Structure 1
């Protein structure tokens, strides 16, 4: 018993300095986001990058790595408290059919675009999932089950930065674009929820049009988020026997994806008070901020910029492809 306590104390002592660094960055990001009305994850990324020199400090390394891996997985699991089965089923049969088709076809087309542009197999899959499902959260979740490759942290951080920037641009441009296109408020809500990558920007864009648009956009986005655990598990299983990519051990199985599904079910049943589910949803958000801050500290800006404009062009093309699929579905009265 004493040896277990000693090991636990040693573990905590090893994690503490890095967690203090990441926690401070997360708190600063939250303060700036509150006062300047910009995405908290973007601030966490930028501040984290500024403290990259701490990634090589032995005192901080363990806590930073813990934040970018373990805390990340808990954050993704707790995302389940942001959506209920009633919300998903209430969207109607056509919408329930549209979103999985949209997500899967977007992933396939996005990966194909990456292949045509000569990008690494794993990088193409990472960008495809980030664009098609739920932005930064999807990038972090998918990256955690992909086999290791050189500059993995750099590539993941680049995707998070790029997808956040694209979401912010879309939040401003898409409501104008869809209104000019003559779509109804409900159709605009469907398009916004189906095409903007991150939740916060979906909410901002939707309610900028109307309350009805905001409600529809949020529900569509939550349905896209509900696809995350299934996609993560499918990716893990598909890569398991791939000799080129390596194998995934039982420890690497995405149990957090099952945790997401469990949280969704618990939230849907109403077993715990709404105040508590709201609190857990907020905890999920802050866990993800911690994870992104940890990734930011782990990756230098110089190495990230080495990816160049070709990678940015890739994610822009993937975003345009997702937009085209969604507009086509709505324009052809699929819904």
Structure 2
């Protein structure tokens, strides 16, 4: 990729994605896009897809390795740095009930997604990617799963699109349900955990939480965000388990005896967990009330968001309308079914678990 004689072309590909990403960061910071709670990652993949369906064929083929570099190495670096947004203190703040709810939602959504994918006879890789995105943290989870599942770029983009669509719907739906009194059967703590445990993106949770509790006087906004971040922490163990299961399946399909196939361990997932521990240590040293108060945290978070935006943009540049047509309507059908599970099943799971602990 960076061999002598090819470094310039690879650098050109990376620079192209970086320029698109800077544009995505700027656009995401505009009042209108902020009001929609669309993160730079989502804006980035949209810009990439626009490019893929307009000027992509004008791109010199020699630049392609640079774009691939963004979808691999830069992506993994971004996932590791994502750990700076979390501390173990966040887990302690919401208690065991929220952790149990998150575990049930994450595991249940992935298993249900795989089963439903088989029932509707859709591509297994797309089904798994869509399930992971719906269960954990939307686009970031899909990106994290991509190196483990080893699927084609357009399948990743399709999975991202589904979680963005339904996550955005939830961001507006939950505040409506709350104001309409439909969630009156829940306490404010239940509403917060329900929101954090079932919405797709961190941005969606923040948007819905702030809409229901603008000043966080009821504790909904803050608790919802922390509950969501606990789901994010589950990304690492989920990726490791996925890697172990997938290699077993590939062994059976290829007829290779157990132990002969190399297991792809997502080491970046361990880096993600290690950073969480480091961040917790730093929070204690600097006596920071929240993760945002840790020195340089805001700067690292900005850099991380930019790196993940580059990865999303690069994925978008490999996603044409024709590839979406090839995927068909099944990924969106699966995402819709998982959405119903999250909204309805999540309500009863959250209420039941919290009542069991009170």
Residues 42 and 95 (structure 1), Cα distance of their counterparts in 2 relative to 1, 3 Å cut: closer
Consecutive unaligned residues of structure 1, counting only runs of 5 or more, are 1-6
Which residue of structure 1 aligns with residue 290 of structure 2?
A: none
Structure 1 residues 210-249: aligned runs within 5 Å: 210=213, 211=216, 212-242=219-249, 243-244=251-252, 249=262
Higher normalized helix content (fraction of residues): 1
Residues 8 and 153 (structure 1), Cα distance of their counterparts in 2 relative to 1, 3 Å cut: closer
Indicate which of 94, 100, 108 corresponds to 1:97.
Answer: 100
Which residue of structure 2 aligns with residue 80 of structure 1?
A: 83
Which residue of structure 2 aligns with residue 195 of structure 1?
A: 198
Structure 1 residues 1-40: aligned runs within 5 Å: 10=5, 12-35=7-30, 36=32, 37=34, 38=36, 39=38, 40=40
| Secondary structure in 2 matching 1:138 | helix
Post-superposition offset of 1:10:
4.3
| Secondary structure in 2 matching 1:134 | coil
Which residue of structure 2 aligns with residue 4 of structure 1?
A: none
Q: For structure 1, which segment, 290-299 or 50-59, has the greater mean C-alpha deviation from structure 2 after superposition?
A: 50-59
Alpha-carbon distance in structure 1 between the residues aligned to 2:261 and 2:134? 24
Which residue of structure 2 aligns with residue 118 of structure 1?
A: 121
Could you list the per-position Cα deviations for residues 8-58 of structure 1 after superposition, in whole angstroms to 9, with x for gaps in the alignment? 664642321111111111111111111132412222112111222437632
Alpha-carbon distance in structure 2 between the residues aligned to 1:21 and 1:147? 24
Which residue of structure 1 aligns with residue 47 of structure 2?
A: 47
Alpha-carbon distance in structure 2 between the residues aligned to 1:227 and 1:269? 20
Consecutive unaligned residues of structure 2, counting only runs of 5 or more, are 255-259, 287-293
Q: Which 4+ residue blocks in structure 1 deviate beyond 3 angstroms?
A: 7-12, 53-56, 244-250
Q: How many residues align?
A: 325
TM-score, normalised relative to structure 1: 0.90
Residue pair 1:51, 1:297 contacting (<8 A) in 2 also: yes
Which residue of structure 2 aligns with residue 207 of structure 1?
A: 210
Residue pair 1:78, 1:284 contacting (<8 A) in 2 also: yes
Which residue of structure 2 aligns with residue 68 of structure 1?
A: 71
Structure 1 residues 277-292: aligned runs within 5 Å: 277-292=297-312
Q: For structure 1, which segment, 41-50 or 285-294, has the greater mean C-alpha deviation from structure 2 after superposition?
A: 41-50
TM-score, normalised relative to structure 2: 0.85
Which residue of structure 2 aligns with residue 158 of structure 1?
A: 158
Alpha-carbon distance in structure 1 between the residues aligned to 2:277 and 2:325? 41
Post-superposition offset of 1:184:
3.0
Could you list the per-position Cα deviations for residues 95-133 of structure 1 after superposition, in whole angstroms to 9, with x for gaps in the alignment? 222211221112111221111111122222111111001
